[in-house]
Amino acid sequence: MEKTADVVIIGGGIIGVSIAYHLALKKAGKVLLLEKGQLGEGSTSRCVGGIRTQFSTGINILFSLESIKAFERFEEEFGINPEFKRIGYLFLATTELEIEVFKTNVKLQRRFGIPVELLNPDEMKALWPYLRVDDILGGTFCPWDGYAGPSEVLSGFVSGAKRAGVRIYEGTEVMGIALKRDRVNSVKTNKEEIDVPIVVNAAGPFASSVGEMAGIKIPVKPLRRQIFITAPFHLTDQTIPLTIDFHRGWYFRQEVDGLLLSGPLDSEPSFNLNIDYEAMAEASENAMYRVPVLEKARIARGWAGLYEISPDNHAILGRIPEVEGFILANGFSGHGFQHSPAVGKVIAELISEGKTTTIDIAPLSIERFKKGELIIEPMTAFKE
Ligand SMILES: Cc1cc2nc3c(=O)[nH]c(=O)nc-3n(C[C@H](O)[C@H](O)[C@H](O)COP(=O)(O)OP(=O)(O)OC[C@H]3O[C@@H](n4cnc5c(N)ncnc54)[C@H](O)[C@@H]3O)c2cc1C
């Protein structure tokens, strides 16, 4: 294993591998990616692949639009089909506040040229007859939204990065980061110590423990989300959009022959990856409430994964003033998969050119928490 590098990336999830690929394109020198287990074994392999433009802040919309361009040309660039399926996202509002916020969101999204529609309950019933709409006040639909395959996208970035010269080491845990006069000097691993001036924290839900290695507090908490899949179930011949019952924090979409149902999101941080009966019951109740015919469906399997939540549900990107050479790519709050292409691109720009040109990431700096400049959303953010 190398004993020196120009850049070390800690974490081989979708964010780390995208950064590695984009750095290699920029010819950023010797780039090493270190993953303590196997590539993608963290949140990336537990993610459901959702991609949407329907966000309620301009900065998230910019990351989506830039990333969608990459998903569209992914096969051409990497030779791997990312299985990007534009089934649309349908958000349902059941309270006056929700519908007012949705209307504000639509205005914002349309300013970015996004073709989002505001629908009334009758229009929704006509389009998706299986939905219960008697308590719905309205909804929004955007055909640009959909989902892609996390493992396909991961493989694309990994093979692209390797082809461009990045060296990837699995089973290599970073145990410490040594500083010299407030600059990154080396990383200690369970194998070698590597002299390196630039380290990228791409450790997903483990971001804060990697931050501590450099003496930095990164406000990212791991929160468990459970997901369930039904046995094969035929709901309709039409395309089913990813449908979000906003008030219940529940969503569903087609998954091969069955349906994917979201389970609850924990309120207390933990690294627990178990699924439980209560969560399955809650997912089933939400499903039967919104789509009554799902009473006949049977849950076949499920899994749990960790979101990496920041205090304002927005990513934490870029440098930190206290430690030169320590770069953050953390806190994606459930949106890291869909924003990974743009995140890789901007972090590579920051490292190789000293500034970002694709998207201004200043609003996502960790400094915002100290300055009290959190990004405010009109309502608690939806998380896939
Ligand atoms: C149930 C669920 C559904 C989701 N659905 C969506 C969705 O629809 N759309 C969307 O955009 N996002 C979704 N997400 C969020 C998405 O999965 C994450 O935002 C994304 O995977 C984060 O990628 P990452 O590379 O930062 O983290 P990870 O994939 O967790 O990768 C971090 C890696 O760092 C490694 N690591 C940690 N510490 C060290 C160390 N000290 N040394 C070496 N390696 C280390 C870990 O082993 C891990 O592999 C979902 C998440 C969950 C849990």
Q: How far is the CA of 237 from the centre of ligand 1 (A)?
A: 33
> From ligand 1's centre to the CA of 257, what distance in Å?
26
The average pLDDT across 72-84 equals 98
Residue 380 has pLDDT above 90, yes or no: no
- Segment 258-282 shows an average pLDDT of 97
User: H/E element holding 18?
Assistant: helix 14-25
Instruction: Among 66, 326, 337, 340, say which to mutate for ligand 1: greatest number of ligand atoms within 8 Å of CB.
Output: 337
Percent of the chain with pLDDT over 90: 97
Residue with CA at minimum distance from ligand 1 atom 3: 47
At 3, the amino acid letter reads K
Which atom of ligand 1 is least distant from the CA of 225? 1
Residue nearest to atom 31 of ligand 1 (CA): 13
pTM over 0.95: yes
Ligand 1 atom nearest the C-alpha of 17 is 25
CA distance 320 to 323: 6
Q: What average pLDDT does range 200-229 have in this prediction? A: 98
Q: How far is the CA of 42 from the centre of ligand 1 (A)?
A: 5
Instruction: Evaluate: CB of 49 within 6 angstroms of ligand 1.
Output: yes
Find out whether the beta carbon of 12 lies less than 6 Å from any atom of ligand 1. yes
Decide: 227 in ligand 1 pocket, CB within 6 A. Answer: yes
What are the b/e assignments for 197-228, b being 16+ CB within 10 Å? bbbbbbbbbbbbebbebbebebbbbbbbbbbb
Q: Is the dihedral of CA 121, 123, 128, 129 positive or negative?
A: positive
Split at pLDDT 50, 70, 90, the class of 219 is very high
Cα torsion at 144, 150, 153, 159 (round to 10°)?
180
Ligand 1 proximity of 364 Cβ (cutoff 6 Å): no
Question: For 226, left (φ over 0), alpha (ψ -120 to 50), or beta?
Answer: beta
Centre of ligand 1 from the C-alpha of residue 222, in Å:
10
**Whether the CB of 41 sits within 6 Å of ligand 1:** yes
Q: Radius of gyration of the chain from Cα atoms?
A: 21
Q: Is the Cβ atom of 318 under 6 angstroms away from ligand 1?
A: no
The response to whether residue 35 sits with its C-beta less than 6 Å from ligand 1 reads yes
Where would I find the H helices in 26-138? 58-72, 74-78, 96-111, 121-127
**Residue 74 CB: number of other CB atoms within 10 A?**
22
Mean pLDDT value across residues 217-246: 97
Q: Is the CB of 344 under 6 A from ligand 1?
A: no
List 255's β-bridge partners, or say none.
Answer: 258
- Residue 116's pLDDT is 98
Which pLDDT belongs to residue 373?
Answer: 94
Per-residue pLDDT tens digits for 3-59: 999 999 999 999 999 999 999 999 999 999 999 999 999 999 999 999 999 999 999
